[in-house]
Chains A and B, each alone.
Chain A
Amino acid sequence: MNPYGPVALYLCVAFAAALLFSVLPGLVARRKPNPEKAEAYECGVEPTSAVAGRFPVRFYLIAMLFVIFDVEAASFYPWAVQMHALRIYGLLEMIVFIIVLGIGYAYVWKKGGFAWR
């Protein structure tokens, strides 16, 4: 059998299941709508604002910076595990990596990227 056979089978099953569960309710469910049911559910409290609220774009900035430094930390782990095996080569690689990252960090800092204004 083609090694991709199971993948194809899995794909088909997943697709079929998703299709089934989205179509089935429409066929079997009974519908009795009223205004309360049609409202957005907020823990029983009456909704006070639009569903998609507005919030400062700063969150995105912080989130992006977080992701960058998070990824950096994540890439330290595999290196730390294999540090002895990689020896001086691995250490040098990591130092270069940290220097590049450090300059970026300092740059963001100086340009006020961390200041909550």
Chain B
Amino acid sequence: MILNPFGTADWMAIAPIVALAIASLLVLLADLVARPAISRYGAVAIGLLGTAAAAVLAAMQYGHVYAAFFGGFVTGGFTTVFEEIVAIALAGSLALYATLGDPKRIGGTVALMLWGSCGAMLMAGAANLMTIFLGLELLSLALYCLCGMVDRRGARESALKYLILSSTASGFLLFGMALLFGASGSVLLADLARPQLAANPLFWMGSGLFLIGLAFKMSLVPFHAWAPDVYEGAPLPVTAYMSVATKAATLAVFARVLYAALPAGTASHVMLPVWIVAGISMIAGNVGMLAQHDLKRLLAYSGIAQVGYILTAMAGGSALGLRYAIYYLVAYTFMNLGAFAVATAISGEHEEGARLVSYAGLARRRPWLAAAMTFFMLALAGMPPTAGFLGKILILATSADSGYAWLGGLLVAGTAISLYAYAKVVRAMYLPQSGDHHVADLRPIAPLAWISVTLCLIGVIAMTFYPLTPSNVLPLLR
């Protein structure tokens, strides 16, 4: 006799995800009913309402740690924080999509973004291997389609590359999970923390493969080659979404594994390759940025390095480190979305904003946008008066504190390199222009993109002067 095994509390735990799913179905329904198809603003409005509902529902769970679905999904501070980051990324990219989206595909794209965010939010709270994989696949499948959601050769290339490479990584992840399951006999992450696993070779192999899968999704250096190509081809709003939401969701999984699912005393050994890889990413990502002429590629390489910074905060596994990692991640979310919002605001049908050439002389044509872009670039480079500056100093402080000062040193070196690349964008905007190859067909003011830019600016500035970091992100598991 099987009765309903789940109570109301279980369903409430995934309420934010359900809200997104419902919004997604509503967009599809509206697209079905409307003639000839749903309007841009209609679809995005439904999407934004769903996102707002999800954000509110997630915020209501803040602080209430509850292990739903037999421990498969844990709510509480940590999950809420990452769900909110995903919600911010989603709202930002939806707003950009309303400005720049292909009108023929608006319904499907918005629905896919919402579905993908369901996956990302599942990953944020996932506390067993199956939920992790479910969330990851939901997110990835949506992204494969999203990458190709525009009639461009590059977009198809991007989608196919992402599909093939990401599936390979999923294979690694899945094999790792299988070995971990074999070692522990349980899919729960909490059971991976049992001390006797430390002596089991299956556990070491499994966690190795698992981490390779995660490193791929986070685009850490030996596994990073896909990121620039995929970012370059994908539509601008999708790139904005991908650069933030995927990273946030994967970092959530990584943090949960690091902080809650390793046998005592093994963390420094299991994770050492990750720290090394993070250190290499900080250098290689920033060096890679130097040669780029495409904003999306540039930000892809920048993202590779920025993940390295976030991991530097987590190295050592201190509670404060996690808080600063989250602080920096939120700051990164705002800076990156802001940069993409500026790019969107000056883009037309051909995504002019993606090419650095289009920024030549922007300071004269659109002084406010140029100033905002300068600000975001400074923030990404870690200059004051931005949250990037404070985030970096917090990360440096924790890395020195927890004995990973060498990562801090690499961070400093990487930042020094990155400066030139970020300043290249700034220079293009402010240098007195000789040629006249700038974007003549500037779009009229795009309200939603401008609002996004403004909100991101406010976010980055506010975080500098009120550096709130969530205090109750631990415990991660029940």
A–B contact with Cβ pairs below 8 Å: the answer is yes
Residues of chain A touching chain B, judged by Cβ–Cβ distance below 8 Å, are 4, 82, 85-89, 99-100, 103-104, 106-107, 110-111
Q: Kindly identify which residue among B2, B25, B29 contacts A85, using a CB–CB cutoff of 8 Å.
A: B2
A4 proximity list for chain B (CB < 8 A): 182
Q: Are B32 and A107 in contact (CB under 8 A)?
A: yes
A86 proximity list for chain B (CB < 8 A): 2
Q: Are B1 and A85 in contact (CB under 8 A)?
A: yes
A87 to B4, CA, bound (A): 8
B3: CB under 8 A from chain A?
yes
Q: Which of B1-53 contact A (CB under 8 A)?
A: 1-4, 21, 25, 28-29, 31-32
Contacts A/B (CB < 8 Å), 17 sampled = A4-B182, A82-B2, A85-B2, A87-B4, A88-B4, A89-B3, A89-B4, A100-B25, A103-B25, A103-B28, A103-B32, A104-B28, A106-B32, A107-B28, A107-B32, A107-B108, A110-B31
Complex: chain A residue closest to B5, CB-CB: A89
A8 to B57, CA, bound (A): 48
Complex: chain B residue closest to A86, CB-CB: B2
A4 to B32, CA, bound (A): 53
A100 proximity list for chain B (CB < 8 A): 21, 25
B161-200 interface code vs A (CB 8 A; 1 in, 0 out): 0000000000000000000001000000000000000000
Residues of chain B touching chain A, judged by Cβ–Cβ distance below 8 Å, are 1-4, 21, 25, 28-29, 31-32, 108, 182
A106 proximity list for chain B (CB < 8 A): 32
Q: Kindly identify which residue among B2, B29, B108, B182 contacts A103, using a CB–CB cutoff of 8 Å.
A: B29
B21 proximity list for chain A (CB < 8 A): 100
The 3 A-B pairs at the shortest CB distance, nearest first, are namely A89-B4, A107-B28, A85-B2
A58 to B7, CA, bound (A): 45
Complex: chain A residue closest to B6, CB-CB: A89
B2 proximity list for chain A (CB < 8 A): 82, 85-87
Q: Kindly identify which residue among B3, B25, B31 contacts A87, using a CB–CB cutoff of 8 Å.
A: B3
Extra contacts, 5 of them, besides A87-B4, A110-B32 (Cβ < 8 A), are: A85-B2, A89-B3, A107-B28, A107-B32, A111-B108
A4 to B201, CA, bound (A): 13
A1 to B2, CA, bound (A): 36
Min CB distance, A53 to chain B, in Å?
21
A111 proximity list for chain B (CB < 8 A): 108
A53 to B334, CA, bound (A): 50
Complex: chain B residue closest to A7, CB-CB: B182
Complex: chain A residue closest to B182, CB-CB: A4
Min CB distance, B264 to chain A, in Å?
25
Chain B CB count within 10 A is highest, among A85, A86, A88, A110, for A110
Complex: chain B residue closest to A93, CB-CB: B4
B108 proximity list for chain A (CB < 8 A): 107, 111
Q: Are B4 and A107 in contact (CB under 8 A)?
A: no
A89 proximity list for chain B (CB < 8 A): 3-4
Q: Are A107 and B3 in contact (CB under 8 A)?
A: no
Q: Are B31 and A107 in contact (CB under 8 A)?
A: yes
A110 proximity list for chain B (CB < 8 A): 31-32
Min CB distance, B324 to chain A, in Å?
40
A99 proximity list for chain B (CB < 8 A): 25
A4 to B2, CA, bound (A): 33
A107 proximity list for chain B (CB < 8 A): 28, 31-32, 108
Min CB distance, A64 to chain B, in Å?
11
B31 proximity list for chain A (CB < 8 A): 107, 110
A87 to B32, CA, bound (A): 33
